[in-house]
Structure 1
């Protein structure tokens, strides 16, 4: 099955007239401006029926003013003809319901971390973000629950830890926080500051990159 990536994906979207859709890393995305919840719910139901018929299922986010759709073939890790075909059908369903798309919206957040010690810090970040230090695949930390953005590691030379201007806050239920902190420490992290726990606890990976495990407990 042909995998569409990069410019090849953009060319395929253009050649098939899929102007509602944008190419993103490993997927295609679209936002449909339903304008109200009932219209969005009806569109999602129709998309669900078509997806069941095709045996291929999108990721769908329903909000009051719009519906976001993402399509990818997980067995190939890329967009395939199945996704392009279903995208066309979804656009037809939206058009028949009088719903327009906003092609300027689809975007995808990924986090890249420079390191010369991927093997040392990847388990820490997997444990911190997902609760399981084994959720590392190739250069990426992956979240089976789909709650966290993709984190990947960029090779670089060893360097002193610079002043950190950006850090990661991971908010979890208060009952989960001790378990998440322990998982991160067991995976090679250290606790830097727990004076504000349980509101937040500052941790560090083996490279010195800091992150906080946060809860609502103890906050005003």
Structure 2
């Protein structure tokens, strides 16, 4: 099965006339402007039926004014003919419902972290973001629940810990926070500051990169 990535993916979308869809790392995405919740719900129902028939299932986000769709073939980690065929069907369903797409919208957030110690810090970040230190694949931290952005590690030379201008806040239910903190520490992290717990607890990985586990408890 052919996997489409990079420029090849963009060229293939053009060749198939999939103007509603944009190429993203490892997937394609589209936003359909339904304008109201009922229209969006009806479109999602139609897409669900088409997906069941194709035995190939997209990620769908339904909001009041629009429906966002992401398609990928998980067995290849890339876009395949299955995605292109279902994308064409989805566009046809949207058109038949009088729904247009906004091809300028699809975007994907990924986080890249420079490190000379990928193997040492990857389990910490997997535990912090997903609760399971084993959710590491190659240079990526993967969230099976699909709630966290992809975090990947960029190899770099050994260097002193720089002043940190950006850090990650992971907000979880109060009952989950102690378990998440414990998992991160067991995976090689340290607690830097717990004076504001349970509102937030500051942790650091083995490189000194800081992150917070946050809850709504004791917040105004």
* TM-score bin, normalised by smaller chain: over 0.9
Map 1:148-163; keep pairs closer than 5 Å.
148-163=148-163
1 CA distance for matches of 2:73 and 2:179? 33
| DSSP 3-state at the match of 2:166 | coil
Cα drift, residue 100 of structure 1: 0.4
Map 1:44-193; keep pairs closer than 5 Å.
44-193=44-193
2 CA distance for matches of 1:53 and 1:17? 23
RMSD: 0.4
1 CA distance for matches of 2:206 and 2:219? 29
1 CA distance for matches of 2:198 and 2:30? 39
Tell me which stretches of 4 or more aligned residues in structure 1 moved more than 4 Å: none
2 CA distance for matches of 1:93 and 1:14? 19
| DSSP 3-state at the match of 2:78 | coil
Unmatched runs of 5 consecutive residues or more in structure 2: none
Q: Which residue of 2 aligns with 1:36?
A: 36
2 CA distance for matches of 1:26 and 1:191? 35
Cα drift, residue 196 of structure 1: 0.2
Unmatched runs of 5 consecutive residues or more in structure 1: none
Cα drift, residue 163 of structure 1: 0.4
1 CA distance for matches of 2:82 and 2:39? 26
Q: Which residue of 2 aligns with 1:3?
A: 3
Deviations 1:163-206 (A, max 9, x none): 00000000000000000000000100000000000000000000
What TM-score do the two structures reach when normalised by structure 2? Answer: 0.99
Residues 1:197 and 2:197 are matched in the alignment: yes
Aligned residues: 220
Cα drift, residue 91 of structure 1: 0.3
1 CA distance for matches of 2:126 and 2:68? 27
